[in-house]
Amino acid sequence: MRIRTAKMLAERIDLNYFKRAPALRRWRYILSIAIPAIAVLWIAGYAAAGIRRPYSAGPVSSAHAFAEMKCEVCHTSANAPAGFRAHVSEKACLTCHDAPAHVVNQTPSPACVNCHVEHSGRVQLAKVGDGLCVDCHGDLKTMQGAPAISTTVGRFGSRHPEFAAAREGAKDPGTIRFNHALHMTKDGVRSLRGIEILQCTDCHKAARILPPQGGSHELRVGLMSAANYQQNCARCHGLEFDYRIEQPAPHDKPEAVRAAVRTALQNYIAAHPSEIIKPDDPRRLPLNFPPAAEPPARNATEWVARRADNGERLLWSRCDVCHARTGTVTVTVPQAQPVADPRRSVTVTVSVPAFAASHIATRWMVRAAFDHTPHLMLQCVDCHAAENSQLTSDILMPKQATCATCHAPSRGAEARCFECHQYHDWRKSHAVSPAFKLTDFR
Ligand code: HEC
Ligand code: HEC
Ligand code: HEC
Ligand code: HEC
Ligand code: HEC
Ligand code: HEC
Ligand code: HEC
Ligand code: HEC
Ligand code: HEC
Ligand code: HEC
C-alpha cells in the first residue's frame, strides 16, 4: 500500500512551467493568422480555378448532377446578375424543360423549388413530398366553380377518398352483355374446337393505349385491352347464317351485315344455278327457321330474297345475345330487283335493328395513373372480383384498401401522392427550344 503525502503530491507540479508559456502563446498567435489565411487562399484557389463546390449548399439531384458546378444555370434571375447568389427563378427551370400547370382553376401554385427541393443529395427530384399537395387538397379551394372532387384529401390509405369507381353508385357504361362467371368455369366452356378453359389474359392484354387526348406522358399507362368480338368471341359465337355458306357474316353495322348476306347468297346461286329449284335441307336449318316457302323459286333473285330474310332474322337474334337492341332504323339500300329503266329509282328504304353503342370503358380511373405492369405478379382476381360476376353492370374495380396492402409507409411500396398521380398536366406540354451549348457544360 502506497501512502500519499502532501510532499509527494507537490513534487508532481513542474515548477518551471512559466518558462515554456511563450512557446504555446506564439503558436496560438501563428495559427490564428495562418488558418484563416489558408482558408482564404484555398477558396481563392478554387475561385481562380472556377470551382464553386465550397459555396454549394450540398449535392444536387441526380438528374441535374451534370450541371452541378454550373451554378448559374439555376441561380439566375431577371433582375440580378447570374451567379449562385441569385435566387432560383421558375424561368431558370423552364429554360430547360416544360412543366405545364396543374389544373386551370387552381389557386396560385407553389414555386417549383418548394416541391422540387435541390441540394439534398442525389435524389430523384420528381419524388416530391405530400406536404404541398395536402396544403391545397386537405381543404380544397378553387378559383372558379365548385370542385368536382373530394375537398378533404390526405394521406393515402387513411385520409384519401375511396376511388370513384369503387364507391357505392358507380356505373359501368358498357352495354355488351357478358357473364364472366359463365365463361370462367373451372370445367371450361364449349367452343368449336372442343372444351376451352378461358384465362383472363385470353381476352384482356396489358396494352399501351393512348387515351383520346394523347400526350407523350400518357404512353406509360399500362392499361388492359377491352375484349374484342373478332379475337375473343367469334370462335364460339360465330355469325354463320346459311348452311350452304361457310363464311360468316361480317361483324359490322346492321346495314352492312344485311348487304353482305345478300351478296354472299347472290354469289352462291350464281355459282350453283342448278340449286334454284332445289328445296332447303330441313335437317340443316336452325330451329324455328322454317324452310323457304314453296313452290320453288322462279329465278335467282327470288331464291336470294327468300334465304336472305331467314339469314337476317337468324343473325339479328345472334346480335341480341350480346348487344342491347334499342329499336329499328330505316336505311336506304340498293334495290334488289334489277330494273329495266335506268332512270327509275334504284334504291329502297328497309328497316334494320338498331343496337346501343358498346361503350366498353378502357379507362376507369382517369384521375390517377395506374399501370398494370408492376402488378403483374398478382393474380387478376386479387384486384378484380370477375370470377363470380354475372352481369356487365357489376363493377370489378379494386378498393383503396387493396392497394394499401402494399402502398403504405410500413409496407414497402411507395405511398406518396406522386406514385399514382401526375401534378403537371402533361397533355398540355410544349417543346422547349434548346438554350445551351455543349461548351456551357465543359
Ligand atoms: C439544378 C439547379 C441548381 C444548381 C445547378 C445549383 N443550385 Fe443552388 N439552389 C438551387 C435551388 C432550387 C435552391 C433553393 C431555392 C433558392 O434558394 O432560390 C438552391 C439554393 C442554394 C443555396 C442556399 C441559398 C438560400 O437562400 O438558402 C446555396 C448557397 C446554393 N444554392 C449554392 C449553389 C452553388 C454554389 C451552386 C454551384 C456549385 C449551386 N447552388 C448550383 C438549385 C441549384
Ligand atoms: C440546364 C438545364 C436544366 C435546368 C436549368 C433545370 N433542369 Fe431539371 N432536368 C434537366 C435534365 C437534362 C433532366 C433529366 C432529363 C429528364 O428527366 O427530362 C432534368 C430532370 C428534372 C426533373 C426530373 C428528375 C427526376 O429524376 O426525378 C425534375 C423534377 C426537374 N428536372 C426539375 C427542375 C427544376 C424545378 C428546375 C429549376 C430549379 C430545373 N429542373 C432546372 C435539365 C435542367
Ligand atoms: C405542388 C408540387 C409541384 C410544383 C409546384 C411543381 N412540380 Fe414538377 N412535379 C411534381 C410532381 C408530383 C411530379 C411527378 C409527377 C408528374 O409528372 O406530374 C413532377 C414532375 C416534374 C418533372 C419531371 C417530368 C418527368 O420527366 O418525369 C419536371 C421536369 C418538373 N416537375 C418541373 C417542374 C417545374 C419547372 C416547376 C415550376 C414551374 C414545377 N415542376 C412545379 C410536383 C410539383
Ligand atoms: C395550389 C393548390 C393545389 C396544389 C398545390 C395541388 N393541387 Fe391538385 N388540384 C387543385 C385543384 C383546384 C384541383 C381541381 C379541383 C376541381 O376542379 O375539381 C386539383 C385537382 C387534382 C386532382 C384531380 C385531377 C383531375 O384530373 O380531375 C388530383 C389527382 C390532384 N389534384 C392531385 C394533386 C397532387 C398529387 C398534388 C401534389 C403534387 C396536388 N394535387 C397539388 C389544387 C391543388
Ligand atoms: C371471354 C372473354 C373474357 C374473359 C376470359 C374475361 N373477360 Fe373480363 N371482360 C370481358 C368483356 C366482354 C368485358 C366488358 C363487359 C363487362 O363490363 O362485363 C370485360 C370487362 C372486364 C373488366 C372491366 C369491367 C368492370 O365492370 O369493371 C374487368 C376488370 C375484367 N373484365 C376483368 C377480368 C378478369 C380478372 C378476368 C379473369 C378472371 C376476365 N376479365 C376474363 C371479357 C372477358
Ligand atoms: C370458348 C368459347 C367462348 C368464348 C370465347 C366466348 N363465349 Fe360466350 N358463351 C359460350 C358458351 C358455351 C355459352 C353458353 C351458351 C348457351 O348454352 O347458351 C356462352 C354464352 C354467352 C352469352 C349468354 C350468356 C347468358 O348469360 O345467358 C353471352 C352474352 C356471351 N356468351 C357473350 C360472349 C362475349 C361477349 C364473348 C367475347 C368477349 C364471349 N361470349 C366469348 C362460349 C364462349
Ligand atoms: C358474342 C358477342 C357479340 C355478338 C354475337 C355480336 N357482337 Fe357486335 N360487338 C361485340 C363486342 C364485344 C363489341 C365491342 C368490341 C368490338 O368492336 O369488337 C361489339 C361491337 C360491335 C359494333 C361496333 C360499334 C360499337 O358499338 O362498338 C358493331 C357495329 C356491332 N358490334 C354489330 C354487331 C351486329 C350487327 C351483330 C349481329 C350480326 C353483332 N354485333 C354480334 C360483341 C358481339
Ligand atoms: C393491383 C391491382 C390490379 C391487378 C393485380 C390487376 N388489375 Fe386490372 N385494373 C386495376 C386498376 C386500378 C384498374 C383501373 C385502371 C384505369 O382505368 O385507370 C384496372 C383496370 C382493368 C381493366 C379495365 C380496362 C383498363 O385498363 O382500365 C381490365 C380489363 C383489367 N384491369 C384486367 C386485368 C387483368 C386481366 C389482370 C390480370 C392479368 C389485372 N387486371 C390485374 C388493378 C389491377
Ligand atoms: C397508391 C396510389 C395512390 C396514392 C399514393 C394516392 N392516390 Fe389519390 N387516387 C388514387 C386513385 C386510384 C384514385 C381514383 C382516381 C379516379 O377515380 O379517377 C385517386 C383519387 C384521388 C383524387 C380524386 C378524388 C375524388 O373525389 O374523386 C384526389 C384529389 C387525389 N387522389 C389526391 C391524392 C393526394 C393529394 C395524394 C397524396 C396525399 C394521393 N392522392 C395519393 C390513387 C392514389
Ligand atoms: C402486392 C403489392 C401491391 C399492391 C396490392 C398494389 N401495388 Fe402498386 N405497386 C407495387 C409495387 C411493388 C410497385 C413498383 C415499386 C414501387 O413503385 O414502389 C407498384 C407501383 C405502382 C404504381 C407506379 C406505376 C409506375 O409505372 O410508376 C402505381 C400508380 C400503383 N402501384 C398503384 C396501385 C394501385 C392503384 C393499387 C390498388 C388498385 C396498387 N398499386 C396495388 C405493389 C403493389
Q: What is the mean pLDDT for each group of 10 consecutive residues in the chain (442 residues)? A: 69 67 74 74 63 77 94 75 69 94 94 95 96 97 94 96 95 96 94 90 77 47 87 95 95 96 96 92 78 78 90 95 96 71 76 96 91 93 96 96 96 96 92 92 90
Q: What is the pLDDT of residue 45?
A: 65
Question: Taking the CA of residue 138 as centre, how many other CA atoms within 13 Å lie in the half-sphere pointing to its CB?
Answer: 9
Q: Is residue 315 a contact partner of residue 239, using CB atoms and an 8 Å limit?
A: yes
Ligand 9 atom nearest to CA at 366: 18
Q: What is the pLDDT of residue 372?
A: 93
Cell numbers describing residue 45: 484557389
Ligand 1: centre distance to CA 119 (Å): 7
Q: What is the pLDDT of residue 30?
A: 78
Ligand 6: centre distance to CA 140 (Å): 47
Q: Whose CA is nearest to atom 2 of ligand 3?
A: 115
CB 57 less than 6 A from any atom of ligand 1: yes
For residues 437, 438, 440, 442, the Cα torsion angle rounded to the nearest 10 degrees is: -170
Q: Is residue 400 a contact partner of residue 157, using CB atoms and an 8 Å limit?
A: yes
Q: Is residue 425 a contact partner of residue 366, using CB atoms and an 8 Å limit?
A: no
Q: What is the pLDDT of residue 360?
A: 93
> Which residues have CB under 6 Å of ligand 7?
176, 227-230, 233, 237, 239, 249, 251-254, 257, 315, 318-319, 321-323, 357-358, 360
Q: What is the pLDDT of residue 49?
A: 63
Q: What is the pLDDT of residue 39?
A: 67
Sign of CA dihedral 246, 247, 248, 249: negative
> Which residues have CB under 6 Å of ligand 5?
172, 174, 176, 178, 180, 183-184, 198, 200, 202-204, 227, 232, 360, 380-381, 384, 386-387, 392, 394-397
Cell numbers describing residue 367: 384521375
Measured distance CA(188)–CA(352) in Å, rounded: 35
Measured distance CA(75)–CA(100) in Å, rounded: 21
CB 299 less than 6 A from any atom of ligand 10: no
Q: Which ligand is nearest to the Cα of residue 379, counting in written order?
A: 8
Ligand 7: centre distance to CA 218 (Å): 28
Q: What is the pLDDT of residue 7?
A: 74
Q: What is the pLDDT of residue 374?
A: 92
Measured distance CA(103)–CA(260) in Å, rounded: 49
CA 433 to chain CA mean position, Å: 28
Q: What is the pLDDT of residue 214?
A: 47
CB 103 less than 6 A from any atom of ligand 9: no
